Amino acid sequence: MKQTSSDGGDLGGGTPREVADKPTKGLADVVAASTALSDIDGKAGRLFYRGYDIHDLAGRTTFEETAHLLQRGSLPSRARLADYGAELARGRTLGTLVERDIPEIAERQAPMEALRTLVSLAGADDPDKDSNAPEANLRKAARLTAQQPILVARYHAARTGATLPEIDPELSIAGNFLLQITGRRPERRAAEIFDTCLVLHADHTMNASTFAARVCAATLSDMHSAIVAAIGTLKGPLHGGANEQVMRTLEGLDPRGVAQAVRDRLAAGEKIMGFGHRVYKTEDPRATHLRRMSEELAEASGDDTYYRMSREMEEVVLAEKHLYPNVDFYAATVYHYLGIPTDLFTPVFSVSRMSGWTAHVIEQHADNRLIRPDSEYIGERDQKWAPIGER
């Protein structure tokens, strides 16, 4: 049932303002924005970026092409990709504030907190920081996408004292990230697999961090501010933080007692990280690819314990709760087998999602209206005020 708002409702145009009489907890099923960037069919378990099925993109399209698709509207030709690649390469250079503060931030902040700080600092040195114009936003989107993997790698090197390998211009964003994080030039297949991971995480409709970015952008705040809001939101364990928690769960389980441990946790009302989704009612299409890649890497590593444990967890959670793995479940073991430290799993998510967040800010600024929902008041009414000495 709809009703007019409690503040009188008539907003000057003569049309009473209509609001739902009860909020939907967690805004489930509420359409909060229009977007041409990505689309999910939750019943069929399908995901599309600008109309392209994720199954067609994964393994066949690079992360750079995907970022171009999201930010610039089309899959690039070779020439366009070369131009975009050159822009990304130029955009990798970090600003002076970031350079100066990385060592202390690496000492004092956990990875996602550090990224939140570093992206905020990067805003200070961005030449387009004072403009939300379309061209400025495109340039900032490319710079943020280029800088995010560098920020993670620089942070990691600063906290470990490792010497950071130079960027190899022959390698992709994915290949260079693995090079800088592990200190070794990645094998071709490892770089391909990681590149596919970045493609799979690039955008996902109105997920919590993207929504946060759009709310911020809709006040006509700048792209860096919107991305800081998104990073703070991604950090939580119900969102991007789940991939790290999946690995911690696997590490904490006895490989011989997985099924019973999962049953016990479910019986105690605990959530199992990496399962369930607000929108998918069947298998998350990204999990299909990640499961396959996890199996391949597990076999190649010669120790498939974590992969086998994951399969067992999947069977139990499906049987007990009818819940499917989401993107974070098999991403955890894929990153583990690729040699990425567990506390950098969520930062890896941000490396990829930066392409989608920035595209959403561009989209929001291009056709903006303040995002300002209503709330249902559930507090006291008709309170009688008394002076401080009489309360």
Ligand X SMILES: CC(C)(COP(=O)(O)OP(=O)(O)OC[C@H]1O[C@@H](n2cnc3c(N)ncnc32)[C@H](O)[C@@H]1OP(=O)(O)O)[C@@H](O)C(=O)NCCC(=O)NCCS
Site of interaction with ligand X (CB under 6 A)? 26, 238-239, 242, 271-278, 321, 323, 326-328
- Min separation Cβ 264 and ligand X, Å: 13
Nearer to ligand X, 237 or 341 (CB): 237
Nearest to 92 by CA among 170, 145, 136: 145
Q: Is 239 a catalytic residue?
A: yes
Which residues, 6+ apart, have CB-to-CB distance to 83 below 8 Å? none
- Min separation Cβ 53 and ligand X, Å: 19
The most distant pair of C-alpha atoms in the chain lies apart, rounded to whole Å, by 76
| Residue 47: strand pairing partners | 40
Instruction: Give me the catalytic one of 55, 101, 125, 239.
Output: 239
Which residue's Cβ has the minimum distance to ligand X? 276
User: What letter does residue 10 receive in the DSSP assignment?
Assistant: B
Alpha-carbon distance 327 to 294, whole Å?
12
Instruction: Give me the catalytic one of 204, 328, 360, 365.
Output: 328
Alpha-carbon distance 360 to 205, whole Å?
9
Nearer to ligand X, 270 or 374 (CB): 270
Nearer to ligand X, 25 or 384 (CB): 25
Alpha-carbon distance 274 to 268, whole Å?
17
* Amino acid making up residue 308: R
Instruction: Give me the catalytic one of 68, 277, 360, 365.
Output: 277
- Min separation Cβ 222 and ligand X, Å: 28
Is the torsion defined by CA of 277, 283, 289, 295 positive or negative? positive
Contact 329, 182 (CB under 8 A): no
Contact 191, 168 (CB under 8 A): no
Going by their DSSP bridges, the two strands 46-49 and 38-41 should be labelled as antiparallel
- Min separation Cβ 229 and ligand X, Å: 18
Q: Classify burial at 1, counting beta carbons within 10 Å of its beta carbon; exposed 0-12, middle 13-18, buried 19 or more.
A: exposed
Nearer to ligand X, 46 or 239 (CB): 239
How many alpha carbons fall within 13 Å on the CB side of residue 277? 25
136: helix, strand or coil: helix
293: helix, strand or coil: helix
- Min separation Cβ 172 and ligand X, Å: 25
Helix (H) or strand (E) holding 327: helix 327-337
If one counts every other C-beta atom within 10 angstroms of the C-beta of residue 388, the result is 5
Q: Is 277 a catalytic residue?
A: yes
Nearer to ligand X, 92 or 271 (CB): 271
Nearer to ligand X, 118 or 317 (CB): 317
- Min separation Cβ 81 and ligand X, Å: 30
Nearer to ligand X, 165 or 236 (CB): 236
- Min separation Cβ 326 and ligand X, Å: 4
Residues with catalytic annotation?
239, 277, 328
